[in-house]
Amino acid sequence: MMYSKRIDGLVASPLREILSVIDRPGMISFAGGLPATEQLPQFNLANIPQQAMQYGASEGDTALREQVVKEMADIGLNCKLDQVLILSGSQQGLDLVAKLMIDSGTEVAVEAPTYLAALQVFRLFGAHLTPISAERLPKLTYAIPTFQNPTGHCMTASERHALAKKCDQSHSLLLEDDPYRDLAYETCERRPVCALIQTAPWVYLGSFSKSLAPGLRLGFLVAAPELMPHLTHLKQAADLHSNRLAQWLVLQQLQDPRRVQRMNDLVAYYRNKRDAFEACLQQYFFDLATWHKPEGGLFYWLKLHQPTDTRALLDLAISNNVAFMPGESFMPFGDAALGQFRLNFSHATPAQMHEGLSKLAAIFRT
Amino acid sequence: MMYSKRIDGLVASPLREILSVIDRPGMISFAGGLPATEQLPQFNLANIPQQAMQYGASEGDTALREQVVKEMADIGLNCKLDQVLILSGSQQGLDLVAKLMIDSGTEVAVEAPTYLAALQVFRLFGAHLTPISAERLPKLTYAIPTFQNPTGHCMTASERHALAKKCDQSHSLLLEDDPYRDLAYETCERRPVCALIQTAPWVYLGSFSKSLAPGLRLGFLVAAPELMPHLTHLKQAADLHSNRLAQWLVLQQLQDPRRVQRMNDLVAYYRNKRDAFEACLQQYFFDLATWHKPEGGLFYWLKLHQPTDTRALLDLAISNNVAFMPGESFMPFGDAALGQFRLNFSHATPAQMHEGLSKLAAIFRT
C-alpha cells in the first residue's frame, strides 16, 4: 500500500466539481456559496506597509488579532489576545482542530445535514460521525448554530443553552463554525454558543469570506486558552503563517468608518435577493416542495414532496445550464436525502432566479 | 486522553520561538531565513481584477499554473497544466504530502541535518525518520538538493543522478524541496532531481517566498500525474484554495519584463551579503570553526572545533542581542549536533554582521 490509510476515505468534495462547472458561460448556479461579486468591497491598496510582504508570526499580526478581540467582545464572546489565531480561511480551522482531536475511529458529533467540507476533513482523519442529538456527546462536537449550512436554521436561545450545557456535561470540545453571522436579514439570537460554555473546551471559527472577500482566504479562531499552544504549533506546521497582505487589507476594512454602512448595504442587498428568490420559489415550487425562509446566510434547503433522487437529475440540470447541490453530500451518516437539496440565493440575478428555478422545477416535475 | 495521538509528538519549532525574538529592537538575528526587506519587490496594486476577491479553484488560478508550467520547462522539469497545484506557501506542500503518505510508523528518509519545519510535519504524522544515505529508501524520501537548508550544500550532477536512481530502484516517492534555487551566487548544477526520475513517484515543491515575498505565502507543487487527484482533494480540505490576490500579484511579477533585471539585482545583493559575511567569519571565527562558503541560498553552517553545546549559549547570545540557530533542531535522528549551528547572512547589514559575529565569537570562545 503506497498511500497513507487516510487516503482511502478521501473523496472529492462535490463542491469542487461544481466550482469547475459554474464558470461555464450561461450557467445559472444555485450550487456554491459565492458572495455576490458586485458587492465585494473596494480594498485600499495604497500605503501597504513593506512588512506585509515579509515573514510573520504564526499567530497572525497583532493589530488584526487585537481587532478580533474587540469584535468578539461585541458579540458576547470575551477573550484575550493570546486566544486568537489568524487562519488561512476558516476551513483551515477545521483542519487544525481535526489534527488536534481526531485519531482513526474518534467519534465526532455533527448536525445532519451539515457543511460538506467539514465532513470531508473529519472523514480524512478517520472520524466516526455520530448525531449531535444523542444524549451524551463524544470528545468533539461540530455545529453551525447561526444560519446553518445547508438548512439555514438559526438556533434559538434555549437551543444554544442546551447545546452548551450538553457539551459541559460531556466535556465535549465544541467546534462552533460561524461564517454567516453577519448576514442576518431578521432579528434573531446569534450569541456564540462558545460564550455559554462553562467548563468544556471550545473553538470558535470566524470568517472574513462572507462579509469581506473569499479570495483573500482569511479567517480566525478563538479558543479556550489551554488549546492555543497546540493549535499554534499545528498552524505553523501547516503553512507557517497566513498571508500578511490579506491580514493588513482586512484590518483596514474592519477599522474603516464606512464599515457599518457597507455591512448594512450588503445585508439589505442579500435580503432583497432572498426575498426575490422566495417569490420565485413560491411561483415555481409551491406544489413541489416545502422549505423554510432563512433568517440569514446564503442558502435555501428544499424538500420535494416526492422523494426523488436529485443526484440522478443533476447532470440533466447542468446540461440545461442550471446547477444545484443534491442533499446527500451534506449527510454525515450515509443516510439518504431523497428529495432534499440546497439552493444558494446570493449569486444569481433576479432574471437568472426566474429562469433557473423554472427550469429546475420543470426537471423535478418530470 | 483528550487530544489525538499525534499531538504527543508535536513540539514548537525553535524557528517560531526565534521569530518572536527577532522583532526586538536592537536584535541582530542570524537565526531565521528572512529575505532582506529592502529587496522585496514593489507590487503593482492597480487594476486588480474583481475575480481575485472571489472564491477560486482548489488547483489555483489557471494563468498562474500555466506560468509555472513555462518556468518548469525552463529549468528542465517538463510538466502539464494538470500537474501543477498552487499552495499557500511551499510549507503547505509538506503538510499535503505528509497527509498523502505518512501513517504512524511510516519510514521517511531525510538528509541529516535538514529543514526543521519539515521534520516537525513528518513527526506530527508519526513518521519514523531514516537516513537518505541508506542502501534502500523507504516509500517517501525528502531532500533539498539545491543550496540545502541548513548546510547550503548543492548536489553535483552525479549526486543528483544517484539520488534519482536510488528512488527509482526503491520506488520511493521523492519529495524535492527547492525554495532557494533562484538565489545562486556561483554557477552550479541545479537541475531538479525530479526531472531525472524514471519510474518512481515524485513531488517538486517551489516557493515564491525567497525570490518574491514571503508575506504573500504562495508556493506551488508539481507532481507525477497519478498523485494529483489526491493532492488536490487534500488541498481542498486544508484551505479550499490559496489567496487569489497573491496569485494575481505573483503572476504579474513573473510576467514583468523587468523581472530578469530584478532577479539579477537581488542575486548580486545577496552575493555581496554573503561575501561580507564570509569576510566577517574569516575575521572572527578563523580559529574557532570550519565552514563551507555556500554557492547559494541564505545560510552558513558552522562547526566549532570544540564540541560545545550551542543550545546552552543561545540565551546568553540573545541577552547580548544576537540570535543564531543551534544545530540540534535540524537533526532528524535525535543525534547530537555539538558545536554545529546555522547562521543566516541575508538579513543583517554589514555593520550588524561585524557586531553580531564578533559578539557570537566571544561567546563561543569562553
Inter-chain touch A233–B10, beta carbons under 8 Å: yes
| Domain assignment of residue A48, yes or no | no
Residues B233 and B290 in one domain: no
Q: Does A47 reside within a domain? A: no
Q: What is the pLDDT of residue B337?
A: 86
Output DSSP code: residue A111.
-
Of B2, B57, B239, the CB nearest to A217: B239
**Which letter does DSSP use for residue B191 in this model?**
-
Per-residue pLDDT at A326: 92
Q: Is A262 on the interface with B (CB under 8 A)?
A: no
Residues B319, B235: one domain? Answer: no
The cell for B327 is: 544545530
Rounded Cα distance, B208 and B347, in Å: 17
Nearest CA in chain A to B242: A217
Residue B32 has pLDDT above 90, yes or no: no
Please choose, from the candidates B330, B321, B335, B264, the residue with its C-alpha nearest in 3D space to the C-alpha of residue B299: B330
DSSP 8-class letter at B184: B
Task: Give the residue from chain A lying closest to B213, CA to CA.
Answer: A53
Domain boundary among B226, B255, B284: B255
- Helix ranges restricted to H, A44-181: 62-74, 90-101, 116-124, 157-170
Residues paired with residue B87 on neighbouring β-strands, in sequence order: B219
Residue of A117, A214, A236 lying closest to B237 (CB–CB) = A117
A284 & A243 share domain: no
C-alpha count within 13 angstroms, C-beta hemisphere, residue A6: 31
Q: Which of residues 276-335 of B touch A (CB under 8 A)?
A: none
**Closest chain A C-alpha to B171 CA, distance in angstroms:** 10
Do B103 and A4 lie within an 8 Å CB cutoff? yes
Q: Quick check: B101 and A3 CB within 8 A? A: yes
Question: CA–CA separation, B301 vs B329, rounded Å?
Answer: 13
pLDDT tens track for A278-319 = 999 999 999 999 999 999 999 999 999 999 899 889 989 999
Between chains, do A89 and B201 touch, taking CB under 8 Å as contact? no
Which residues, other chains included, contact B349 with Cβ-Cβ below 8 Å and sequence gap of 6+?
none
CATH number at residue A180: 3.40.640.10
Give contacts of A124 with chain B, Cβ < 8 Å.
99, 234, 237
Q: Is residue B45 part of a domain?
A: no
A-B interface: how many C-beta pairs under 8 angstroms?
Answer: 234
Grid cell digits, residue B73: 520547462
B95/A238 Cβ within 8 A: yes
Is B92 within 8 Å of A173 when comparing Cβ atoms? no
What 3-state class would DSSP assign to B322? strand
ipTM of the complex in this document: 0.94
pLDDT tens column, B301-314: 999 999 989 988 99
CA distance A171 to A179: 24
A134 vs B309: CA distance, rounded Å: 55
Search chain A and give the residue with CA nearest B106: A4
- Low-confidence residues in chain A, pLDDT < 50: none
- Note whether B188 and B198 are within 8 A (CB): no
A11 touches B at CB < 8 Å: yes
- What is the number of structural domains in chain B? 2
CB-CB under 8 Å, B2 with A53: no
Distance CA A267, CA A273 (A): 10
Q: Which residues of A touch B205 (CB under 8 A)?
A: none
Chain-chain contact of B5 with A241 (C-beta, under 8 angstroms): no
- Give the structural domain span for A221: 54-255
- Choose between A108 and B48: higher pLDDT: A108
Return the amino acid letter for A241.
Answer: H
DSSP strand pairing (B219-223 vs B84-87): antiparallel
Instruction: Give the model's confidence band at B182: pLDDT under 50 very low, under 70 low, under 90 confident, else very high.
Output: very high
| Rg of the Cα atoms in chain B | 20
Show which of B225, B255, B285 is a domain's final residue: B255
For residue B295, give how far its alpha carbon lies from the nearest alpha carbon of chain A (Å): 24
Nearest CA in chain A to B53: A215
At A178 the three-state DSSP class reads coil
pLDDT value at position B225? 97
User: pLDDT tens-digit profile of B238-288?
Assistant: 999 999 999 999 999 999 999 999 999 999 999 999 999 999 999 999 999
- Taking residues B94-104, what's their average pLDDT? 97
Q: How many CA atoms lie less than 13 Å away from B181 in the CB half-sphere?
A: 22
Q: Convert the pLDDT of each residue in B234-243 to its tens digit.
A: 999 999 999 9
Q: A355, A28 in Cβ contact below 8 A?
A: yes
> Which residues 199-258 of A have a C-beta within 8 angstroms of B?
201, 209, 213-218, 229-230, 232-234, 236-246, 249
Residue B305 lies in a domain: yes
**Side chain identity at residue A255, one-letter code:** Q
Domain boundary residue among B210, B235, B255? B255
**Chain A 73-92, residues with CB within 8 Å of chain B CB atoms:** 88-89, 91-92
A96, closest residue in chain B (CA to CA): B238
Instruction: Judge if A249 and A265 occupy the same domain.
Output: no
Q: How far is A366 from chain B (nearest CA, A)?
A: 33
User: ω before B35 within 30° of 0 (cis)?
Assistant: no
The reply to whether residue A95 touches residue B4, judged by beta carbons under 8 angstroms, is: no
Is the CB of residue B85 less than 8 Å from the CB of residue B220?
A: yes
- The answer on pLDDT for B1 being more than 80 is no
Whether pLDDT at B117 is above 60: yes
Its pTM stands at 0.95
- State how far residue A189 is from chain B, nearest Cα, in angstroms: 29
**The predicted structure's pLDDT at residue B19:** 67
* A291 beta partners: A302
Using the predicted structure, report yes or no on whether residue B130 has a pLDDT greater than 70. Answer: yes
CB-CB neighbors (< 8 A) of B232 in chain A: 12, 16
Tell me if B89 sits within 8 A of B217, measured CB to CB.
Answer: yes
Q: What angle (nearest 5°) sits at the alpha carbon of residue B97, between those of residues A213 and B335? A: 120
Among B10, B102, B233, beta carbon nearest to A234: B10
Looking up cell 520561538 gives B17
Q: Do A217 and B52 touch (CB under 8 A)?
A: no
Phi then psi for residue A126, to 5 deg, are 90, 20
pLDDT on residue B17: 67
Could you tell me if A84 and A113 lie in one domain? Answer: yes
3-state secondary structure of B171: coil
Contact B240 A89 (CB under 8 A): yes
Q: Are residues B240 and B296 in the same domain?
A: no
Looking at beta carbons, which residues of chain A come within 8 Å of B20? Answer: 57
Sheet holding A140-143, edge to edge: A84-87, A219-223, A202-207, A173-177, A140-143, A107-110, A128-131
Same structural domain, A29 and A165: no
Cβ–Cβ gap B121/A246 under 8 Å? no
Please report, for the domain that includes residue B13, its CATH number.
3.90.1150.10
Shared domain for B211 and B336, answered yes or no, is: no
Highest mean pLDDT among A42-51, A261-270, B18-27, B28-37: A261-270
Q: Write b or e for each residue in B84-117: b if 16 or more Cβ atoms lie within 10 A of its Cβ, otherwise e.
A: bbbbbbbbbbbbbbbbbbbeeebbbbbbbbbbbb
- Our measurement of the distance from residue B157's CA atom to the centroid of its chain's CA atoms, rounded to an integer in Å, reads 21
In tens, the pLDDT along A36-47 reads 777 888 777 778
Q: For chain B, give the percent of residues with pLDDT over 90.
A: 78
Residues B247 and B112 in one domain: yes
Tell me, what's the pLDDT at A16? 65
Same domain, A245 and A285: no
Q: Are residues B149 and B219 in the same domain?
A: yes
Q: Cell triple for residue A112?
A: 445532519
How far does B330 lie from chain A, in Å, by closest CA?
15
- Convert the pLDDT of each residue in A63-107 to its tens digit: 999 999 999 999 999 999 999 999 999 999 999 999 999 999 999
pLDDT of residue A335: 76
A248 and A116 together in one domain = yes
